[in-house]
Structure 1
Amino acid sequence: MFKKISFLFFLSLFFWSFAQKTDSLQIDFPAKYKLKLASSQQNMQIKMLEYIPENENWENYSIIVTKLIMKNTANIPLETVYQSHIKVAQEKTENLDIKEISRNKSGENEFILFTAESDGYKDSDIPESQVYYFVKGSKDIIMCIAAIKAKKLPSEFIDEWSNIFLKSRIIK
């Protein structure tokens, strides 16, 4: 009897620990893009949400916004995640140009906002460039990306998405 109760207690504790909520980031998308949730995937380590305009599909989207939640990673330095991402991006793209826009100031939530512009991915002829926002929550690291099919990002796009990301709010 004791073994059954112990097993049930352990099992319920195990599932409870994995059922805990992740940090989330509330982003107010501009109405002009008419973004819809096009894909949602999740496993024990990552939750990924991808948004594209409502009348577009994976072949013809004009913009894609991705929110990636890396679960239980808040103990990892954000700089480590940033540098690792750059290293992987350099391996996968042609002529990558990274420009840091801003970082948190002392006492603020830790974040890094930057752009990545490239001629394209090595396995594709389609160029793509992005505005990135990495932010640390209380439990998770959240990576947000606004991407368009272009070698260079228009300055208006960078300003717009920088402001959108910086106005976002972490929800616990």
Structure 2
Amino acid sequence: MLSHKEKVAKAKKARRNFKIVVVAMDSDATDERDALMAEIAAADSDKRAGMASGVAARASLAKLDAAEVESLVTVKIYRSDPSFWARLSAQVGYSTESTLKAAIMVDARILEGTDELVQTTDEWEEFFSTLAPSSYSLLTQASYMLNETEPTERIERLKKVLESTGDSAPS
């Protein structure tokens, strides 16, 4: 068995856990996409008359999708330092959403190729304002998983392993 000091030293060497999240910034193509989808649906319902328009609409939709790929942004979210997480949570009045948002602003990076870009608070606020709610939720869910769910699940899993060996408490 490792001593407490050896466990601390080993934990300090461990890779800092992170999650990669791909989100989409808002686009002004929604109306155009809806119109093309309606045109495709109409063409599909009238096979003979709509064949040419359906092909043209599908081609336009493919071009639109290719252009919208530019709206994707990759974010690397790191697990927060536990003492920072606790202080942050207390600072924001134990609001989960506020804690997650603030943790992302400190512990996440925008990825551009292999570069990890640090953002200022204002840059994060501006970025968040460009996201659809579902994209913002992907970011907060990843932070919650890293800082709450996964560590708790790990402790419970390891306690079960310990119990299966007949031990009741770790050394």
- Tell me, yes or no, whether TM beats 0.5: no
Q: Using structure 1 for the length normalisation, give the TM-score.
A: 0.29
Q: Using structure 2 for the length normalisation, give the TM-score.
A: 0.29
Structure number with higher strand proportion: 1
Structure number with higher helix proportion: 2
- Larger of the two Rg values belongs to structure: 2
